Structure 1
Amino acid sequence: MTLSLVAACLWAVVASLIALGPRRFHWPAAWGLIALGVPIVGWVTWENGPVLGLIVLAGGVSVLRWPVRRLFARIGAGER
């Protein structure tokens, strides 16, 4: 297992632990997870190829589904 996949697994563990915490920390933590997750996805894609990169991206989106939903809602509201 490459170092980038280890980093992605650690990111997922940290995200799960944050989800267990108090609700008031979820949004600030989500921004931190996004800031760390984007470079990790790029690193995984660079070292392991686009298939594993897409798998890690899908895992990150499943963990951070509320920020993604709000982004799509804002994009949809801006078109009207």
Structure 2
Amino acid sequence: MQPDDRALVEFEERYPEPGPGKDAEILRRFGLAPLRYYQRLFALSREPEVVDDYPQVSSKVQRVLSEAGSPGFQARLASRA
């Protein structure tokens, strides 16, 4: 795993809750818009090294992805629009 990728996963491990402060810190630290950060995090969460070294981060991200595809999640999302 590249050092930048490791730093991203370690950041998520330290700061797992979303929010505006986290978004600002993502931009400051990594130079990434939050959307790009989460896209990269989702891709990394499937990497064997991340699964082995950061199991809590990996499982949380995979759970979020799984829930995002569920009909219940889609209905909740639609009700907020």
TM-score range, shorter chain: 0.3 to 0.5
Which structure has more relative contact order (CA 8 Å, sep 6+)? It is: 1
